[in-house]
Structure 1
Amino acid sequence: MGIPQVSETVERLWNGWELRMVMLLSLYLQIFLILFGRRRKYTAGFWIGKLVWLAYLSADWVATFSLGILAQKIGDSNRGSIPAFWAPVLLVHLGGPDTITAYSMEDNELWLRHQLVLVSQVVVAFYAFTRSWWGKDPLLFVAIPIFVAGIIKYGERNWVLRSASSEQYRNSVYSEMNELDSKFDKFSNSEFFEMTDERLVREVDLNGIITEATFLHEADLFFQMYRVLYADLVLGDSIHLATHIILRKKSAMQAFELIEVEMGFMYDVLYTKLAKVRKSRVIFRASIFLCFVSALLAFSLGISKNNHAYSTAEITISYLLLYGAIVIEIYSVVLLLFSDWAMLWLTGKRKPLFDSVYRTICSSGFLSFLQHDKRWESTMAQHNLISFQRSKAKLTSISLKKLLGKSNIQSSKVVGADLKKFIFQHLLDKRTRYNLRMRSHDPGSNDLHEILSERGDEVFGREESLENFVWSVKFPDFNESLLAWHIATDICYHDDVRINGGNAKIIHQNTETSIELSNYMVYLLVDYPFLLPRGIGKERYSQTCSAVDDHAELLDRIISVQPFSWYESAITFDIEKSTRKVSALWAGVKLAKSLQALGTQDGWGNERKWKIISEVWVEMLTYAASHCGWKEHAQTLTRGGELLSHVCLLMAHLGLSEQCLTTSRLD
């Protein structure tokens, strides 16, 4: 067979299967998105995120491309008979699955563009439909219910995008903020502090809720507050006093669980069609499902009477498209029925029958399967500057991950119960220093701003012997303090291991906490600097890395297990004279020397030293959390959520946020 014959064969196959393949590809992308689109909610998996991103971008393009081909081919007698309902099926695909309407927050701001696309694609689909009319498609009527389903589904997606856009979201939250104010504003601060548990439960409308579901309704109350904060509005004293009283009675694990549910609610509102169970949504879901079932029945009956209308391939693909659409709708309904939103609605009825249904659902294995790890993985990524720089020279291969710019994560650590307890107790202690009952009527004496500005200086202020460490947390650029403490923490750890004879297992709990928080904060600086206070963090990190390379041999001696004297003048002088102007290496080495000297003072030791270091790191974590915008925190929801965002929400619900409005009503 010659080249011309091969070319003609390929062209014939392409013309015959081009439309069929893109139709099947469009269906596959919809199935992939509904199965994996929701995984971003609770996992920070790199490949899952990239594959969902690729599928999300491809789905609309493939559906639009297919619709264009259909508009050209359908009704053309030379092309064979193509089912008329394929065009509105693509309109359904453009509506997208319930589990992902927006990949990022920027997609919500483009709702007007999607509205224009909706109108244009409906016109194209209608044009294809009319071409089928001219072609006398015997099953033309099958397209009508699918056309209705497509308009509903795509229109619903556009409405969700519009609702999550900044301007529309802020407008909708005003009424919710007023409702919250009216619910709590009748109480003075002193009344809240003296309120009994029974009265508080009654006032926040939690009475009659079964014990097993109380956390869902508390999370919903917190979520109402979160919505207001996310819209950059302020809340009165009484509202965050209520959430503070609820939180202070919780264990650390319970408090973090509340935040996880609350962040799940926000993720659903910003990035999916899954939200509060409403009558309109139930009607939409039922209508779409009935449209597809009726279309399937009509097609099956029509094929039995007109079995020569379409080719076998067209019939097979048609059945796949219809059955696929029905399965997707059933799966969407199941997800909604077993979601936190549905459980919230069910137990909110406060009726024995509904409560029994909730208990039955919760005890079923099916629910456990659907809700497996659905909230937060409780992990934090790790990046150690010195070890990363030392290992880079040893890399001989370039991975795809590195090419995509995501090779900075060296490992992940579990945010365990001990760390959660340590962070939560620190926040409670910080809250006791901001006592609303003791606040002066003079707004200038309100010390909340001062408390939120602490980076570790409060830790050093407790003892006179630590005053000479204040310089390390008072750099104008927060990132310099972060890097200096990161380097010092790493050096202190290796020095302690050397002192212990090279046994890295003999470390205190506070040592592990310090190292994990230190590596986590530097990971944020490298990969997500927008989550940290403004500064020249990237440039400072880059020059610090260069300084580490310049002094690699000296640093090897510092962090090796061989005997070494901290006061070797050659080392300190060489590092101090570094030409890297914004490098934090010298500050880190200087700080490490002071910390190690501190551990040998009278009344001190490694355990006490590492306790101080861990407290400084928690202070830095809380400082960064409170100085990051809510929009930036919301962006982290698409990769499973960050520990930093959880801490920020805990602080806000404890009243440790400058968006918590203070008043002079202290009666």
Structure 2
Amino acid sequence: MGAGNKTLSEATAVIKKLRTPKANLAKVEFLACLTALLLMFLTIFGSSRRRHNHQKLRVLLWAAYTFSSYLIVYTFGLMTEASFQNDLLPVWAIFLMIFFGSSDSYSVHSLEDCEQWKNYAWQYVIKITGVLFLMILSGITLPMISVSTLCLIVPLKVIRRAASLRIASRYGRQMITKSIADYMSSEHQSSEGDLDPSQMRGYNYIVTEGMISPTSLKKLRERKAAAQLEAPNYRKSLEITDRVVTIDKVWKCQGWLLRSGGGDKDSKLKDICLSFSLYKLLRLKFSDYSLPKQAHEKAWKLIQYLCAEGNGYERAFRVAELELSFLFDYFYTKYVTIFQPLGWRIKLVELLFLVIGVPVMVGLCFPWYDSSRSQGEVQLATKGGLSIDFLVTALIVLIFACVELVQCFFMVISEWTKVSLLCKYVRTISWQEGKLMEKLIGLICRTPLPKPWERKIHQYSLLESYDYTPPRWLYNILTDLFMDRIRDGQRESAPAKLSSEVKKAVFHSLMSNPEALQNGQASLIRNEVEHELSWACKLKTQTQVIIVWHIATSIFEHMMPISNSNFLVATNLSKYLTYLVTFYPKLLPDHPYDSEYIFDGIIIEARYLLKGCKTIKERTQRLNNIGKRMNDTGEVIIQGARLGQQLLNVENEPNFIWKVLAEFWAELMVYVAPSDNAIAHAEHLAMGGEFVTHLWALVSHAGIKREPPLE
């Protein structure tokens, strides 16, 4: 009993120490520093999520994003309920409010956060009220004077983030896209019969609208007054003036920097503007706006031109890559508000406050402890007299300065800056005549940036992974409430590099028969094997078609391997489409839950039919035997084995079969690309991106629809 009482008394003493004013002050300082470090982590690694499909990285970023918001609330609570006085509490509170504005490159974690923009705005009102309350209680002190210049940054940062959330929300998307939608609904009429994609003649696609001047506002009012006497027009007008930059203006620019025979021989600078204009059109898919058929036909001629010459598929893919990077920034960063006509000016004001405020704070807040500074104030200091309070403040200020400088650097070299400079260059004759300005813009625009997405195609092999069982202690009925469940058989294979052979094959298929996409049957007809193999394209669901052909391709891969481009294309695309079925069925034609249900059934079938097979060789041989003796078309595994046996029995060399499979999978890749689920593609932009999303962007511009399978 004596030992138990002693332990209890010791625990009570520890609890009392944790509740002392100094202990509470230490908690406030620790949490403020931790919040600052989390913000730095989000700033540096925030944009990495679109370049890497690593689950651990996504979890870390999600934890930092979520945890920092809770830390800010909790720390504010400790400050407002503190039973002690410290002159630096309002200073730390102001920095917490600045951190509440979040990182420019990580404004939201998921698209659902965008819909909470009103909630975020009200949180700001409540928190800033608490900060003002703290400042009133603290009175006018030296630290408060030193941080006064930084106080003005708070509304700038928070309002910008709230505006970014609002613009990326469903309402905001419709609001800012209406003018482009109304303009593009009739844009094709201005260039009928006079189109030349090589010179962009007739392509009046908007790159930037420019800033409306007071004179323009006066003319706008006059037009509205005159319009009241006419029939009402409910379209949102977008007048093409000298301030508006269109694609044809970019191509007509006579400045050396943008001339094909001058500083833009590879057209990469002009393509930056082209990608930005196409990104604006792609936003229509997220706002429930549609374009007339003639507008899609016009866009298709442009895509055909991009793919026409030599390795034009690389150029088309590069344009789509950059277009999707702009779309990612629109949804997940603050760049869309920073690069508004007044946005970058506000950003410069922030930097001005940073330049003035930080030196003032460092100069006034001398980092040594002064016991006579405030009577009765609770402070923390080392034994040598060094003020821990000021050290914490200095660390927070240093992190804040580093974050702002890093964000400024990212902003300067971003693709948004390049678009802004190039459009200004097109509008300004003096820039086109200034060699120094041309060199500066060229230097910025040709600064190499990290790859815009992962540039890998993920792989899944049914024969390798059907027997995988995830750990039940981690994935079970209880943990389903907290994390995405990993089902039986869901184990990804090593990803493959997106090769030029794969891109070329897919783009060639896209160019071959765009008006009536088929799920592989056109390629079978071209190779004159439709009578033997087309039955496998007419199954009930697209999921079954993919898995059956995947099984057959896997059998042929292990029994007739060769080393050529057709082998690479067929095996990579087979495993990639099966990967989408297994992990991301939302990006495919079938209902996602139907795909999941079918996949679960296929795993059960595979475990029954391949029971006892330990190696790939044994599994392939078992399937080969099944294909020889069974003609039942009921089970997907048996259907795949049957198709694999048919491929082996075709009286041609393996090279021919691999050509058939490569063309089939390339056509099937294009067939699944059209989708009305634009949000699913936007979600995957924050997870490393998907190859199918790049195709989806191109076929969306062209208005290409998927045809039902041939009977």
Map of 1:494 onto structure 2: 558
Aligned to 2:655: 607
Contact 2:475–2:485 (CA<8 Å) still a contact in 1? no
Distance in 2 between residues matched to 1:636 and 1:568, nearest whole Å: 38
Q: What is the letter of the counterpart of residue 103 of structure 2?
A: P
* Residue 313 of structure 2: aligned partner: 252
After superposition, the CA RMSD in angstroms is 3.2
| Mapped contact 2:506–2:667 kept (Cα < 8 A) | no
Matching residue of 2:212: none
Q: Does 1:528 align with 2:603?
A: no
Q: CA deviation at 1:245?
A: 4.7
Distance 2:613 2:340 in 1: 62
Q: Give the unaligned 5+ runs of structure 2.
A: 1-5, 205-246, 374-378, 381-386, 707-711
User: 2:697 — aligned with what?
Assistant: 649
State the SS of the aligned residue for 1:44.
coil
SS of the residue corresponding to residue 496 of structure 2 reads strand
Contact kept in structure 1, 2:463 and 2:616, CA below 8 Å:
no
Could you say what secondary structure the match of 2:43 adopts? helix
Deviation at 1:298, TM superposition (A): 3.5
The residue identity in structure 2 corresponding to 1:66 is T
Per-residue CA shift, 1:44-96, capped at 9, x if unaligned?
122211111111111111111111211222xx5x4544342211211111110
Partner of 1:447: none
Q: In the alignment, what sits opposite 1:67?
A: 76
**Structure 1 residue matching 2:342: 3-state secondary structure:** helix
Give percent identity, aligned residues only: 18
The 5-angstrom pairing of residues 585-600 of structure 1 reads 585-598=637-650
- Report what 1:154 is aligned to: 158
* Counterpart in the other structure of 1:199: 201
- Distance of 2:589 and 2:203 partners within structure 1: 38
Deviates more, 1:273-282 or 1:59-68: 273-282
> What is the identity, as a one-letter code, of the residue corresponding to 1:159?
A
Shift of 1:652: 2.8
Q: 1:271 aligned to 2:332?
A: yes
Partner of 1:302: 364
Structure-1 residue corresponding to 2:94: 88
More helix by share: 1
Q: What's the TM-score once normalised by structure 1's chain length?
A: 0.83
Shift of 1:480: 1.0
Query: Is the 8 Å Cα contact of residues 83 and 137 (structure 1) preserved in structure 2?
Result: no
The question of whether the paired residues in 2 share the 8 Å contact of 1:383 and 1:409 is answered with yes
Q: Say whether residues 1:108 and 2:92 are aligned partners.
A: no
Q: Does 1:119 align with 2:125?
A: yes
Partner SS state of residue 191, structure 1: coil
Residue 339 of structure 1: aligned partner? 414
The aligned residue for residue 568 of structure 2 is 512
CA distance in 2, matches of 1:459, 1:227: 33
Q: Does 1:385 align with 2:471?
A: no
What is aligned with 1:411? 494
Which residue number corresponds to residue 222 of structure 1? Answer: 278
The partner residue of 1:22 within 31, 34, 42 is: 31
Match of 2:236 in 1: none
User: CA 1:302/1:323 → structure 2, altered by over 3 Å: closer, same or farther?
Assistant: same
Structure 2 length-normalised TM: 0.79
Give 1:346 deviation, angstroms. 1.2
How far apart in 2 are the matches of 1:280 and 1:557? 63
- Encode CA deviations 1:139-177: one digit per residue, 9 max, x unaligned: 333443333211211111011000011122112111012
Moved more, 401-410 or 120-129: 401-410
How much does 1:558 deviate? 8.8
The AA in structure 1 aligned to 2:392 is: I
1:473 partnered with 2:540:
no
Q: What's the CA shift string for 1:277-317, capped at 9, x where partnerless?
A: 33421222122223344333333343349962365111111
How far apart in 2 are the matches of 1:572 and 1:617? 27
CA deviation map 1:609-661 (0-9, x unaligned): 11111222122222221135211111111012100101112223444258xxx
Query: Greater shift after overlay, 342-351 or 484-493?
Result: 342-351
Q: Distance in 1 between matches of 2:693 and 2:580?
A: 12
Larger CA deviation: 330-339 vs 206-215: 206-215
Aligned 8 A contact 1:84 1:143 in 2:
no
Post-superposition offset of 1:343:
1.0
Q: What is the CA deviation profile of residues 430-477 of structure 1, one whole-angstrom value per residue up to 9, with x for unaligned ones?
A: 23xx3xxxxxxxxxxxxxxxx13x111222333554224222111221
Question: Aligned letter for 2:610?
Answer: A
Residues 543 and 598 in structure 2, CA contact (< 8 A), matched pair in contact too: yes
| 1:355–1:245 Cα change, 3 Å | farther
What are the superposed Cα offsets for residues 78-137 of structure 1, whole Å, 9 maximum, x if unpaired? 45443422112111111101001111111111112112212111212222222212xx54
Kept in 2, the 8 Å contact 1:41–1:641? The answer is yes
Q: Is the 8 A contact 2:368 2:390 kept in 1?
A: no
Contact between 1:531 and 1:628, CA under 8 Å: does it hold in 2?
no
- What amino acid sits opposite 2:508 in the alignment? Q
Pair 1:554–1:597, CA change in 2 (3 A): farther
Contact kept, 8 Å, 2:624 with 2:641, in 1: the verdict is no
Residues in 2 aligned to 1:561 and 1:531: alpha-carbon distance in whole angstroms: 30
Amino acid at match of 1:430: N
2:595 aligned to 529, 534, 537, which one? 537
Distance 1:306 1:279, change over 3 A: farther
- The alignment partner of 1:412 has SS state of strand
The alpha-carbon distance between structure 1 residues 554 and 561, as it changes in their structure 2 partners (threshold 3 A), is closer
How many Å apart are 1:396 and its aligned residue? 12
Q: For the residues of structure 2 that align with 1:565 and 1:294, how far apart are their CA atoms?
A: 73
Change in CA separation of 1:320 and 1:537 when aligned onto 2, cut-off 3 Å = same
Aligned residue identity for 2:463: I
Q: Any idea what the Cα deviations from partners look like across 1:531-586, whole Å, max 9, x if unmatched?
A: 112242111111111111112148679944998895679x744x949xxx7x4111
Gaps of 5+ in 1: 435-450, 498-505, 659-667
In 1, Cα distance between the equivalents of 2:353 and 2:623? 79
Could you tell me which residue of structure 1 aligns to residue 239 of structure 2? none
CA distance 1:467–1:338, change in 2 (3 Å)? same
Alpha-carbon distance between aligned partners in 2 of 1:305 and 1:610, rounded to the nearest angstrom: 72
CA distance in 2, matches of 1:109, 1:24: 29
For residues 278-293 of structure 1, the aligned pairs below 5 Å read 278-293=340-355
Q: Distance in 1 between the 2:58 and 2:121 partners?
A: 26
Structure 2 counterpart of 1:639, from 687, 706, 710? 687
Hey, what's the Cα distance between the residues in 2 that align with 1:149 and 1:322? 13
- Identify the match of residue 441 of structure 2 among 351, 358, 366: 358
Could you tell me which of 393, 396, 402 is aligned with 1:327? 402
- Structure 2 CA distance for partners of 1:248 and 1:513, relative to 1, 3 Å: closer
